Chain A
Amino acid sequence: GPRRPPARSPRAPKSLPGVERGPGCARGLGTALSPVLSGACSQGSRAEAEAMEKELLEDYRFGRQQLIEIWGHACAVAVTKAFPLPSLPRRQPTLLVACGPAQNGAIGLVCARHLRSFDYEPTIFYPKRSPDPLHRDFTTQCEKMDIPFLSYLPTEVQLINDAYNAVVDAVLGAEGTEGTAGTEPCAAILATLRLVRIPIVSLDVPSGWAAGPGGSGDISPDVLVSLAAPKEVARRFQGRRHFLAGRFVPEELQRKFGISPREYPGSDCVVAL
């Protein structure tokens, strides 16, 4: 028959002798680490983000594929919140996911797959594929989910405006520097993205923004999904919705990197800022 937890006096769980605890259990004693300050320039913030990722991989022993899965899933959840299925203007819930050659692109692939499982109809543009076997696996997974891959992006921007409800920008993210933003095929994608009239959702950092101070040449995303913590360049964001996908960050790392704790609704992995 149905069971319910028996009534008992409020008491914290006993700590049994010999219980293994990780080094993070210094909580309450205060860690000696001071939060790393966000640099005044985008490079400083990027160095912090890289340091956090390194710590997640090396100290916390997260797998890279695991992290990309977590991020891609969170980005997809954010897209569903920014563009709920019933709200889409087009008859079919189409989305264009533009993926760059590096990690941001891989996050885009995972995001596309989850969007497909959420009953959206993503189409991927992934012109320069990473040779990384991990990224190849992500590509296979998308193909096997019947997600089409475009062979080219039409330069006729109106076709994109008409075919898709929104574009997911997973091109450069935080990896974009002065150099990469200008190389093909990213330069061409960015040129097109600057002209589209449908909303853009940028993953982590709007592509091209990391290359330097904002200018009229920047893309203007409608939605930004910051991973772990907002990056310095996010201060320039003026779009409609800004989400933080940071629930996965262990509390100790949040403290160490000066990330203010947030309340996430229910079991959501993203929160609207």
Chain B
Amino acid sequence: MPGPRALLGLGLLVAAARAGGRCRERGWSWNRSWNRGWERGWERGRCLPRRAMHSPGTARHGPPGLRFLGQEEAQAIDQELFTEYGFSVEQLMELVGLICATAIAKAYPPSSFTTSQPAVLVVCGPGNNGGDGLVCARHLKMFGYQPTVYYPKRPSKPLFEGLTTQCKKMDIPFLPEFPAEAAFIDELYGLVVDAIFGFSFTGAVREPFGSILGTLERVTVPIASIDIPSGWDVEKGKADGLQPDMLISLTAPKKAAMHFTGRYHFLGGRFVPPALQEKYALNLPAYPGTDCVLQLT
């Protein structure tokens, strides 16, 4: 077997490295040796640039070609991240929380708050969207905001218990009850983060979230929704529902985002592997520099 010297020049050395990966159909991996993988002509498919494919069904919003996902697709992609790509909920939730806090920091920097403290109310729902909110709250604290969390329905799972503890130990207060009136929220906070329901939401809204959403619909301070404005149908939206000022779409916007009329639509999800982006023809635009968020509107 020729040694590295015999490889066809440095360009190929690097190219061979880039062409590598795992070939599941053939059942072997390229990394037994550089040149052997190169000889077998490794599948280049996975090395396509991000925006390789053109896709039908583009929307008016955002860059041309950007796809808006249906609920089932969004769930399928999520599942695939865990089952095929080896990510854990804990990991992705950490990245998502950072994404949300970063987007908020861009649109509503602490200096823009008219209060002496940049107070933020983070309303966390009973599932993963709520977990995203907890991580977001922690990062907001690190960014100099004063977050307060309302978390009425907490899953008794180590992940959520851990995230709650992290927040509490960082001096983030948890409200015992939701402010009774929208006016109280307007007075106390400069921003509300809606981390109640995400892309898995279906059916009727159970209490206490129905009342909470009713109150939120009447606040006048900006609301930033994580992934889906809570209470909205993930594909059709909800004309008489929450009207957030900011939407932070994760991975790719969902169809509901086409009904979003707020000022700021951000996208986050740079962690999505290129192969997955290709498979679903997401046509994601390039993220600026090393930012983890991209402003779509």
Contact = CB atoms under 8 A, between A and B. Distances in A.
A16 interface: yes
Nearest to A117: B270
A197 to B, nearest CB: 15
A138 B101 CA distance: 25
A23 B177 CA distance: 20
A141 B87 contact: yes
A156 B10 CA distance: 13
A137 B4 contact: no
A11 B115 contact: yes
B282 interface: no
A159 B6 CA distance: 12
B114 interface: yes
Nearest to B165: A61
Nearest to A76: B290
A145 interface: yes
A239 to B, nearest CB: 21
B156 to A, nearest CB: 14
Contact of A150 (B31, B87, B158, B275): B31
Contact of A80 (B119, B142, B290): B290
A146 B221 contact: no
Contacts of A159: 4-5, 10, 13
B286 to A, nearest CB: 8
A62 B273 contact: no
B66 interface: no
Contact of A12 (B116, B167, B190): B116
Contact of A69 (B4, B94, B175): B94
A184 interface: no
User: Interface residue tally of chain B, by bracket?
Assistant: 35 or more
Interface in B142-165: 142-143, 146, 148, 158-159, 161-163, 165
A24 B176 contact: no
Given A13-B119, A117-B271, A63 B162 contact: yes
B113 A5 contact: yes
30 contacts: A3-B221, A5-B221, A11-B115, A13-B117, A13-B146, A13-B148, A15-B173, A20-B173, A20-B176, A21-B171, A22-B171, A61-B161, A61-B162, A61-B166, A63-B90, A70-B94, A73-B95, A113-B271, A114-B271, A117-B270, A121-B18, A136-B86, A140-B86, A141-B85, A144-B84, A148-B31, A150-B31, A159-B5, A247-B142, A266-B105
Q: Which 7 A-B pairs have the closest CB atoms?
A: A22-B168, A140-B86, A148-B20, A10-B116, A61-B162, A61-B165, A18-B176
Given A144-B86, A152-B33, 16 more contacts: A7-B114, A11-B115, A22-B170, A22-B171, A61-B158, A70-B94, A118-B270, A140-B85, A140-B86, A143-B22, A146-B46, A148-B20, A149-B31, A151-B34, A247-B142, A252-B169
